[in-house]
Structure 1
Amino acid sequence: MATFLYRLGRSAFRRRRLVALIWVALLALAGAGAASAPVATSSSFSIPGTEAQKAFDLLEERFPSAGADGATARVVFKAPDGQKMTDPAHKAAVGKAVGELKSGSDQVADVTDPYTVQAVSRDGSTAYVQVSYKVNGMELTDATREALKETGEEARAGGLTVEIGGDALQTVPETGAGEIVGVVVAGIVLVVTFGSLVAAGLPLLTAIIGVGIGVSTITALASVLDLGSTTSTLAMMIGLAVGIDYALFIVSRYRAELAEGREREEAAGRAVGTAGSAVVFAGLTVVIALVGLAVVNIPMLTKMGFAAAGTVLIAVLIALTLIPALLGFAGKRVVGRKARKAAEAAEAAEAAGGAPAGARPNLGTRWARFVLRRPVAVLLVGVIGLGTIAVPAASLEMGLPDDGAQPTSTTQRRAYDLLSDGFGPGSNGPLMVVVDGDKAAADRTVTDIKGLEGVAAVTPPTPNEAGDTSIITVVPKDRPSSVETEDLVHSIRDTTGDDVLVTGATAMNIDFSQKMNDALLPYLALVVGLAFVLLMVVFRSVLVPLKAALGFLLSVVAALGAVVAVFQWGWLGSLFGVEQTGPIMSMMPIFMVGVVFGLAMDYEVFLVTRMREAYVHGERPGEAIVTGFRHGARVVTAAAVIMIAVFAGFIGSSEQMVKMIGFGLAVAVFFDAFVVRMAIVPAVLALLGRRAWWLPRRLDRVLPNVDVEGEGLREEPAAGEPEDGERELVRA
Structure 2
Amino acid sequence: MWSAYHRKTAIFGWLLFVVLAAAVGGSAGTVEMTDSENGAGDSARALKILEESDLEGPATELVLVSSGSEGGWKATATQLIRAVEATGETAKTDPPLPSADGKEALIRFEMKGAADEASDRVEPVLKAVRAAAEGREGVEVHQFGEASADKWLNDLLADDFVKAEFTAVPLALGILLVAFGAVVAALLPVALALTACAAAYGLLALASHQLHLFPTTYSVMFLMGLAVGVDYCLFYLRRERDERAAGRDAETALRIAAATSGRAVLVSGITVILAMAGMFLSGLLLFEGFALATIIVVLIAVIGSVTVLPALLSWLGDRVDAGRVPFLRRKAKGTPGGGGFAGSVLRPVLARPGLSAVAGTLLMLALAAPAVGMKTEQLGMEKQFGPDAALTVAYEKITGSFPGGPDPARIVVEADDIDAAPVRKALAAFDQDRVTVHRAKNVAEIEVPLPGDGSDRRSREALTELRERTVPAAFADSGARAYVTGELAESVDFTAKLKDGIVPVFVFITAVTFLVMLLCFRSYVIAVTSVLLNLLSVAAAYGVMVAVFQHGWGASLLGTEAVGAIESWLPLFVLVVLFGLSMDYHVFVVSRIREARDQGADNRAAIAEGIRRTAGAVTGAAVIMVAVFAVFGTLTMQSMKQMGVGLAVAVLLDATVVRMILLPSVMALLGDRNWRTPRLLRRLPDLEHGDPASDPAEPPRRRHATSS
Instruction: Give the TM-score normalised by structure 1.
Output: 0.84
Map of 1:635 onto structure 2: 617
**One-letter code aligned to 1:477:** P
- The residue correspondences of 1:164-179 to structure 2 (distance < 5 A) are 164-166=143-145, 167-169=149-151, 170-172=153-155, 173=157, 174-179=160-165
Can you list the C-alpha shifts for 1:364-403, whole angstroms capped at 9, x where unaligned? 2332222111222222222222222223323322222333
Unpaired segments ≥5 residues, structure 2: 702-708
1:77 corresponds to 2:40:
no
What residue number does 1:53 align with?
44
Provide the rounded CA distance (Å) in 2 between the counterparts of 1:60 and 1:41.
15
Q: 1:145 to 1:73 in 2, by over 3 A?
A: farther
Give, in angstroms, the shift of residue 630 of structure 1.
1.7
Look up the equivalent residue of 1:151 and give its one-letter code: V
2:79 alignment partner in structure 1: 93
Which residues of 2 match residues 406-425 of structure 1 at below 5 A?
Answer: 406-424=385-403
Q: What residue number does 1:517 align with?
A: 499
Question: Residues 524 and 111 (structure 1 numbering): CA distance in 2 closer, same or farther, change over 3 Å?
Answer: farther
Give the letter for the 1:154 counterpart: A
Displacement of 1:688 after TM fit? Answer: 1.1
**Match for residue 6 of structure 1?**
none
Distance 1:379 1:120, change over 3 A: farther
Q: Which amino acid aligns with 2:126?
A: L
Aligned to 2:690: 710
Q: Which residue is equivalent to 1:12?
A: 3
The match for 2:589 among 588, 604, 607 is 607
Structure-to-structure mapping, 1:319-468, within 5 angstroms: 319-335=305-321, 362-405=340-383, 406-424=385-403, 426-436=404-414, 438=420, 440-441=422-423, 443-444=425-426, 459-460=434-435, 462=437, 464-465=439-440
Range moving further from structure 2, 664-673 or 712-721:
712-721
Q: What SS does the aligned partner of 2:484 have? A: strand
**Alpha-carbon distance change, 287 to 342 in structure 1, aligned in 2, over 3 angstroms:** closer
1:64 maps onto 2:54 in alignment: yes
Any idea what the Cα deviations from partners look like across 1:486-537, whole Å, max 9, x if unmatched? 3433333322437331112221111001111111111100111112101111
> What is the rounded CA distance, in whole Å, between the counterparts of 2:216 and 2:333 in structure 1?
48
User: Can you list the C-alpha shifts for 1:654-694, whole angstroms capped at 9, x where unaligned?
Assistant: 44433332222111111222112221111111111111223
- The answer (yes or no) to whether the contact 1:14–1:265 under 8 Å persists in 2 is no
Alignment of 1:257-336 (within 5 A): 257-335=243-321
- The CA deviation at 1:29 is 2.2
| Residue in structure 1 matched with residue 670 of structure 2 by the alignment | 688
- Alpha-carbon contact 1:20-1:325 (below 8 Å) kept: yes
> In structure 1, what is the Cα distance between the partners aligned to 2:339 and 2:517?
29
Q: Is the 8 A contact 2:574 2:646 kept in 1?
A: yes
Q: Report the Cα offset of residue 463 of structure 1.
A: 5.4
1:208 matched residue in structure 2: 194
State how far apart, in whole Å, the 1-side matches of 2:118 and 2:296 are: 26
| Contact 2:40 2:493 (8 Å CA) reproduced | no
Matched, 1:230 2:212: no
Distance 1:442 1:567, change over 3 A: farther
* 1:726 aligned residue: none
Secondary structure, counterpart of 1:163 in structure 2: strand
In 1, Cα distance between the equivalents of 2:406 and 2:372? 29
What's the Cα RMSD here? 3.1
Distance 1:404 1:49 in 2: 23
Q: Deviations over 1:167-223 (max 9, x none)?
A: 332315122544444333333332333333322222122112212222244356656
SS in 2 for 1:168: helix
Q: In 2 relative to 1, CA 98–17 (structure 1 residues): closer, same or farther, beyond 3 Å?
A: same
Amino acid at match of 1:153: A
Per-residue CA deviations over 1:64-89 (Å, capped at 9, x if unaligned) read 223x6x6x45333232112337x642
Correspondence for 2:563? 581
How many angstroms apart in 2 are the aligned matches of 1:399 and 1:458?
32
The equivalences for 1:19-34 within 5 A come to 19-33=10-24
Q: Which runs of 4+ in 1 moved over 6 A?
A: 336-339
C-alpha change, 1:409 and 1:483, in structure 2 (3 Å) is closer
Q: Deviations over 1:625-653 (max 9, x none)?
A: 11111211221111101111111122233
The residue identity in structure 1 corresponding to 2:467 is R
* Alpha carbons of structure 1 residues 652 and 153: separation in structure 2 relative to 1, 3 Å: farther
Q: Distance in 2 between matches of 1:718 and 1:359?
A: 29
Q: Counterparts of 1:521 and 1:341 in 2: how far apart (Å)?
A: 50
CA distance in 2, matches of 1:383, 1:263: 43
Query: For the residues of structure 1 that align with 2:131 and 2:315, how far apart are their CA atoms?
Result: 60
Percent identical residues: 30
Whole-angstrom distance in 2 between the partners of 1:84 and 1:397: 44
SS of 2:161's partner is coil
CA distance in 2, matches of 1:598, 1:510: 29
2:704 maps to: none
SS of 1:26's equivalent? helix
Amino acid at match of 1:433: I
Matched position secondary structure for 1:478: coil
Decide whether aligned partners of structure 1 residues 94 and 360 sit closer, same or farther in structure 2, where only a CA change above 3 A counts: closer
What residue identity is the alignment partner of 1:416?
Y
> The residue matched to 1:79 in structure 2 has which SS?
strand
Instruction: Tell me what 1:494 maps to.
Output: 468
Structure 1: distance between partners of 2:78 and 2:298 = 58
Corresponding residue pairs, total: 674
SS in 2 for 1:328: helix
Distance (whole Å) between structure 2 residues aligned to residue 304 and residue 139 of structure 1? 27
CA contact (8 A) 1:178 1:650 kept: yes
Equivalent residue number for residue 645 of structure 1:
627
Matched position secondary structure for 2:143 = strand
Pairwise CA distance, 1:465: 5.0
- For the pair 1:670 / 2:660, whether they are aligned, the reply is no
SS in 2 for 1:619: coil
The alignment partner of 2:62 has SS state of strand
Q: Report matched runs for 1:468-617 at 5 Å.
A: 469-495=443-469, 496-497=471-472, 499-578=481-560, 581=563, 583-617=565-599
Quote the residue 1:3 is aligned against: none
Q: Residue 706 of structure 2 corresponds to which residue in structure 1?
A: none
User: SS at the partner of 2:412?
Assistant: strand
Query: How many angstroms apart in 1 are the aligned matches of 2:500 and 2:20?
Result: 41
Please say if residues 40 and 219 of structure 1, whose CA atoms lie closer than 8 Å, have aligned partners that are also in contact. Answer: yes
Does the residue aligned with 2:125 lie in a helix, a strand or coil?
helix
Paired residues of 1:198 and 1:330 also in contact (CA < 8 A): no
Whether the 8 Å contact between 2:172 and 2:627 is mirrored in structure 1 is yes
Query: Aligned partners of 1:94 and 1:150: how far apart in 2?
Result: 7
Residues 1:183 and 2:169 aligned together: yes
Q: Distance in 1 between matches of 2:587 and 2:6?
A: 29
